[in-house]
Amino acid sequence: MLHFREKSLYDFSIFRIIGNDLPPRDVVGNRYKILKFILEHEETFAGTHKGWIVNCIHDLEYREKICDLLRQHGSYYVIIPFNRNAYQKSDRRGKILHAIPINRARNMAIEFGRNIARYTAVLDGDCYFDASTWNNITDFIKSERPSRQYYTVPHTRSTMEHVLHSNEPMGPLGEPMPIIRNDAPLRFDENIIFGQGDKVRFLHMLGHSIEPQKTHTLLRENTTKVIGYVHHLATGDEQTETDLQHRINLRKQSIDHLLQNLDDPEKFKKMTLRHRSVSTNECYKNIQGWFDFQGVYSHLAFSMADNARFVEIGSWLGASICYMAEQIVARKKNVHLYAVDTWEGSDEEDHRKIILEINKRGETLYGNFVENMKSCNVAHLIRPVRMPSVKASDFFPDGSVDVVFIDASHQYKDVLNDIKHWIPKVKKGGIIGGHDYAITHPVSQRGVIRAVNEFFAANSLELRIGGRVWLHYKK
Ligand SMILES: C[S@@+](CC[C@H](N)C(=O)[O-])C[C@H]1O[C@@H](n2cnc3c(N)ncnc32)[C@H](O)[C@@H]1O
């Protein structure tokens, strides 16, 4: 059960989702052109935060080009990486879901928006608001009593030229974009594949018609209200934009084309993460914990240079830091590893239970950690820092750490404090990240996700989300 938070950082947030160019449906390069146009021409709206979801862009060079542009404009953006392993293991349907997870991105946008604003508009990446229309929409929402959980804004296909000179819709109204209050429970169905009514089925739950060309009309009036319009800029050529059946056919071809590319090992090379895992004796597996981010640690171990400093906040019995130490040894690197923990556990039932059992044996959590590190033969590589994380940060000069990984308290205030105190410690080009960014988990939503989203949105910094891990690459 979600509660309406009247007091939020912003009244409104606008999240746009930017994905791959999908030829032949899209003219290659048009998405980038449109992104640039929006960043350069759409006005700043008072009380409205804008964010971008960079959704599963497979070509890493292209993704970097997009992120560069977003950075140049001081935009807040979140990268959803492509999950290559999951893609490769899937059948065709699963492959499409992994290659273009459009509804997952929309749901993420709702989650991000919910944490920072009263209402979130979830838009396709090529949507553009002129100031007077957006102000009319937000004035209307603010004045409605009682306010609703959902509003819907139909799109009109417009050219860039048109939106520069007119506040009117250019063409007829079509499929709407939702604006969602922060307590609204409905979500997009992540099992619907791209192009198979991914958005329409959500709109249908709000009372919209599901019939093509009529999706902006309402069959039921009580759930949502249709207001204003949003310009939808063209990503395809003229015939594609005006002919629905043609667009549907091309979309099918685009998906085939994309899967062919992703399945081609040669083309795929430049899209792959540039690290390979190395095998170790996996002693970490004997240690109790909640460690499920081996892939991220393996990537970090690969990325860190000799003499780098790695700080783990929250080590518990040592499973994760032991894994990192094993990776560093296997890669023949010299990395300084710090394990910061009070070794008192967090205020969580699991922790209390396990600590009680350890204490019954006349032992301590810290003592067990040290023993574990010794028996895995990594104790000489790890410096334990036994104190609260914020206090520990004082011992590290600003810009002195290559990677900080936070896996400590899940409480909102603690996570926010951890980020605030540790981000200055990370050097330029370094990484800060953390665990328990579990989008469907209520505890994570209230604590980790809210803190992470608020901090990175308020500071307009890039965020990458993969599995239950968030990462920020400091520029
Ligand atoms: C979830 S456990 C860490 C699990 C470990 N990374 C693993 O994968 O096995 C969280 C740890 O954070 C520590 N912790 C919680 N709040 C802390 C704080 N403010 N400062 C330092 N350590 C803290 C707890 O003592 C606990 O050991």
Q: What is the pLDDT of residues 173-222, one digit of tens each?
A: 999 999 999 999 999 999 999 989 999 999 999 999 999 889 999 998 88
- Which pLDDT value is given to residue 277? 62
235 CA to centre of own chain: 24
CB 327 within 8 A of CB 304: no
CB 444 within 8 A of CB 432: no
Ligand 1 atom 16 nearest Cα: 409
Q: What are residue 336's DSSP bridge partners?
A: 309
380: Cα within 13 Å, side-chain hemisphere = 3
Task: Point out the ligand 1 atom lying closest to the alpha carbon of residue 389.
Answer: 20
Distance 408 CA to ligand 1 centre (A): 4
The CA distance from 459 to 461, in Å, is: 6
The CA distance from 132 to 277, in Å, is: 53
Mean pLDDT over 40-48 rounds to 95
Nearest Cα neighbor of 456 from 428, 438, 435, 433 is: 433
pLDDT, greater one: 280 or 14? 14
Ligand 1 contact, 436 CB (< 6 A)? no
pLDDT digits (tens, 9 = 90+) for 396-409: 999 999 999 999 99
Ligand 1 contact, 346 CB (< 6 A)? yes
Distance 389 CA to ligand 1 centre (A): 9
pTM of the model: 0.78
- Which pLDDT value is given to residue 401? 98
The CA distance from 281 to 277, in Å, is: 13
